[in-house]
Structure formats: C-alpha cells, structure tokens
Amino acid sequence: MIREFLQPETLQEALAMKEQHGDQAVYMASGARLNAAPTKTDKTIAISLSRLGLQGIVQTDKGWELGALTTLQQVIDSPELPEGLREAAALIFSRNMRNQITLGGEIAANLKACQVVPALLAMDAEVEVAEGGCMTVEAWQQKPYGLITKVIIPASVDYCRSEKVVKSCAGLPIVSVSLAVNVKDGKQQFGIALAGVAEKAIRLHDVEALLADQELQGREAIEEAVGKSVFPETDFLGSAEYKRHLSSVLVGLLVEEFNGRSN
C-alpha cells in the first residue's frame, strides 16, 4: 500500500526523490495500473507526476509530441493526431479507463496484453526521458530506463491500423496486431507489432524486412512468414495454435488492406 505520496513540482525534484527512495518508490502518472487490483504496486512511496506539466500535444519537425500524461481519451479527442494512433487508443474499451490511462503510463506498465503499445511499436514511436535523451518505445520496452516525459510519433508515419480478436468487447485481446508504414526518403518501411503472443508486445522485424524487400507476395506468403515468427503460449484466451493462426490472419488482412489503399 502506498504510505507516502510525494508531489514534486519539477522534473529535477522528481528525479531527486526517486534517487532518494530508490526501489521503495514508484512514479505514478494517473495510477490506472498501479492502483488496479491485477497490477497493483507493492511500493510504499508514490512520486506523483501530476504537477510536472507532462500534458499537451504539439506538432514539431520530429512529428507529434505528446506529454507522457496525455490520456488515451485525450488522444481520441484530438482529431489532428494520426488516425492510427487514435484508433489504437480506442482499443481500450472503457471510457472511464481511457480517461485515466496515460500514454506514458501504459508504456511504462509494459503489460502483456497492452492494446496501445503495439501501434506505438509499429509506428517507431519514441519516448523522451527526464534523465536526458530519446529512445524508441521498443528500446525502452526491452530495457526500461528513466522517467518517460514525452511520446513522439514520427512525422514519417504515413499509415497505421490495428485489429484485434476478442471473446468479449471488454476482455483482453486474444491477439492484437498493428501495422504501420513510415515513409523515409521516399521508401516505405513497414512496422508490424503484436500483443498477446509473448510476455510483452513484440515487433516482427524479420517479416517487416521481407515486406520491405517485396519478398512476400500475396497474403498466404505473409501469413506463413508471420506464423513462423510468433511463438505464443496456450492460456485461457486460446491455444497457441489459434493465436499463431490469428497473428497470421490479422497481419495478412492489414497488409492486404494497406495494399488495397495504396493501389
């Protein structure tokens, strides 16, 4: 249970507090995950980020820069943002939850069935951390470091769509897939990410490379490649075989849909 709730006014204060309290303390954005029963924190000190001014959405040369405490509902309610990002934010079914869950918090929570992270991975989104520097969401996810202050959606994102299959609309996705296309130097770069097939959301770099090199012709080839790249486990949501099948089908559908749009 949280016994102490610290409310720093500056990033420096926040970092100092974390330095002081170490593993006993946790940064708290909105608490949507840290206070929720299935993911409740066992830390005793919360360092609140609410007074650090980590809200706001601006467009820069880099792309869209969203404060880490931007909620998913704020993303949805910002029509100027890329449609694929807004669609991914809407994958969380409950509006109450979308009003509380923050982008930064969701990346930091790094949950198996996180529904917005695959889109961020696929888009090559980056995070900025208070300790200095930027890194991709994927890099952060593999080696969490620092206090996320900002999420950056690259200006190169040209396309992003997400699909999921669920047993019930508010249940965890059996598999969730995002496909993004970045255009850099006139070249299309595919980003494919999935949730539900590993402990964390994953990106399929090998399949992306095959797509970029146009080595996968037709939906069946794409599905086969995806099937060889994911190694899900059986759980109450579905068998490993079914999840692999869904991964293949959903990626195939999204690529087919993108190609249809391009043509």
Catalog residues that contact other proteins under the rule CB under 8 A. Answer: 1-5, 7, 28, 31-32, 35-38, 40, 46, 48, 50, 71, 73, 93-97, 99-100, 165, 167-172, 174, 235-236, 238-239, 242, 245-246, 249-250, 253
DSSP SS3 for 63: strand
- CB of 28 or CB of 160, closer to other proteins: 28
Least gap, CB of 207 to other proteins (angstroms)? 18
- CB of 4 or CB of 215, closer to other proteins: 4
- CB of 55 or CB of 188, closer to other proteins: 55
- CB of 97 or CB of 135, closer to other proteins: 97
> DSSP for 127-163?
EEETTS-EEEHHHHHHS--S-EEEEEEETTEEEEEEE
Least gap, CB of 85 to other proteins (angstroms)? 18
Least gap, CB of 102 to other proteins (angstroms)? 12
Least gap, CB of 46 to other proteins (angstroms)? 7
Which phi and psi (to 5°) does residue 46 adopt? -110, 130
- Where are the strands (E) in the chain, listed by range? 4-6, 25-28, 45-48, 57-59, 63-67, 126-129, 134-136, 148-154, 157-166, 173-184, 187-195, 202-203
Least gap, CB of 247 to other proteins (angstroms)? 11
Residues 153 and 179: beta-carbon distance below 8 Å: no
Half-sphere exposure of 68 (CA within 13 A, CB side): 29
- CB of 30 or CB of 182, closer to other proteins: 30
DSSP SS3 for 219: helix
- CB of 11 or CB of 253, closer to other proteins: 253
Least gap, CB of 213 to other proteins (angstroms)? 26
Residues 249 and 179: beta-carbon distance below 8 Å: no
